[in-house]
A and B are shown apart, each in its own frame.
Chain A
Amino acid sequence: MIVADKKPIEEIIEYIKDKERILILGCNECVTVCEAGGKKEVGILASALRMYFVNQGQEKKIGEMTLERQCDHEYLDELREIIDDYDAVVSLACGVGVQFTAEQYHTMPVYPGVNTCFMGATERRGVWTERCQGCGQCVLAHTGGICPVSRCAKRLFNGPCGGATRGHCEINKELDCAWQLIIDRLKALGRMEDYETLIPLKDWSTDRAGGPRKVVREDVQE
């Protein structure tokens, strides 16, 4: 899923302080699972903002709504009937949702309510870690199922670097060395000989480096 983290409320207040009618818009997908932008977080933020403005002696309308998804036109259409009741939207969806909402409602200011962090997994409640950077050409088949692009601080294809210490990354002792994980896994799979295969220079054109990306699937297009 896409993992997001909360933004400081002070930052959100700064965006919307001059608006009178504000919709806090949650998303029922990834950000709900990572407890940053679901229905509950919408309630908390809306309540906090109402109190803040009352305390400032200002009367503002702070609405709450949570869509099934903000990255699909059909769900965003649900906003059409109420959008005119507001001057601004704070979207608690990932950056995709914020942008898609803004695209759909062209004249409506849409502000991000969370920081979108990465594609990752829930290690345990309250701890999420990165697993994929969407480079567009998956190499997991060659690296024992562990991604050096997203999990090595230097995205080395022929690691580990000399900084690895006791299985940890040089930048942070809490961080597993991706190449230690790769080696452990290759050993478990009985494929240590794969380690000695030199991985050639990567074609990064399918990565961010190649510019904004697009997937077109004619087989499923209508």
Chain B
Amino acid sequence: MRLKYPSSIRIIRVPCTGKVDVQHLLRAIEKGADGAYVVGCMEGDCYFNKGNFRARKRVMQARQILDAIGVGGQRVEMYNLSSAEAPQFVKYAKEMHERILELGPNPMRTVKPEEIALAAGNTDNAETGHSAKVMGC
């Protein structure tokens, strides 16, 4: 199954989504990602029992902070799927991609484009949107 998902997405692998902290999500947005979403295992299927639940709470916390500072909590999201669900993976990727397009570029880049783009290390996707994604097993 060679399914396609939006090329704007960069995958960062982590051992478990429980490893992802609020700081990582905020830092991703701060450094210029238009969005950051965490894809964890199905709830109840975490190898470490609670990793994906922790991740969800942290995503919600990051979202609350981003809302409070006016950057928009919608830029972060939490999804769950099993490793056998490639179509679901693609669906979430597209969903997030479309959401980002709708939200527009990250204000961190529109306000100070040159500096932030450098920090993000990628200028290719400035128009289509650029989202980091964190993938846990």
A residues with a Cβ closer than 8 A to B are: 8-10, 13, 40, 43-44, 47-52, 54-55, 57, 59
Known: A47-B23, A47-B27. 13 other contacts (CB 8 A): A10-B68, A13-B69, A40-B21, A43-B27, A44-B26, A44-B65, A48-B65, A48-B66, A51-B26, A52-B71, A55-B107, A55-B108, A59-B112
* Inter-chain contacts of A55 with B (CB < 8 A): 69-71, 107-108, 111
When the two chains form the complex, which single residue of A9, A40, A59 contacts B68, counting CB atoms closer than 8 Å? A9
Chain A minimum-CB-distance residue to B107: A55
Contact B23 A43 (CB under 8 A): yes
Assembly CA distance A52 to B29 (angstroms)? 11
Dominant SS among interface residues on chain B: helix
When the two chains form the complex, which single residue of A43, A51, A57 contacts B71, counting CB atoms closer than 8 Å? A51
Chain A minimum-CB-distance residue to B68: A9
Q: Does B22 contact A (CB under 8 A)?
A: yes
* Inter-chain contacts of B23 with A (CB < 8 A): 40, 43-44, 47
Q: Does B43 contact A (CB under 8 A)?
A: no
- Per-residue A-contact encoding for B87-115, CB less than 8 Å = 1, 0 else: 00000000000000000000110011000
Contact B26 A54 (CB under 8 A): no
Known A-B contacts A43-B23, A44-B22, A44-B65; the reply to A51 vs B112 at CB < 8 A is: no
Contact B68 A51 (CB under 8 A): no
Chain B nearest CB: distance from A211 CB in Å? 39
Chain B nearest CB: distance from A114 CB in Å? 15
List 14 contacting pairs A-B, 8 Å CB cutoff, sorted by A: A13-B69, A40-B21, A40-B23, A44-B22, A47-B27, A48-B66, A50-B30, A51-B66, A51-B69, A51-B71, A51-B108, A52-B69, A52-B70, A55-B70
* Inter-chain contacts of A47 with B (CB < 8 A): 23, 26-27, 30
Chain A nearest CB: distance from B114 CB in Å? 13
Assembly CA distance A133 to B71 (angstroms)? 41
Assembly CA distance A10 to B67 (angstroms)? 11
Contact B22 A51 (CB under 8 A): no
Assembly CA distance A137 to B107 (angstroms)? 56
* Inter-chain contacts of B26 with A (CB < 8 A): 44, 47-48, 51
Assembly CA distance A59 to B21 (angstroms)? 26
Chain A nearest CB: distance from B22 CB in Å? 5
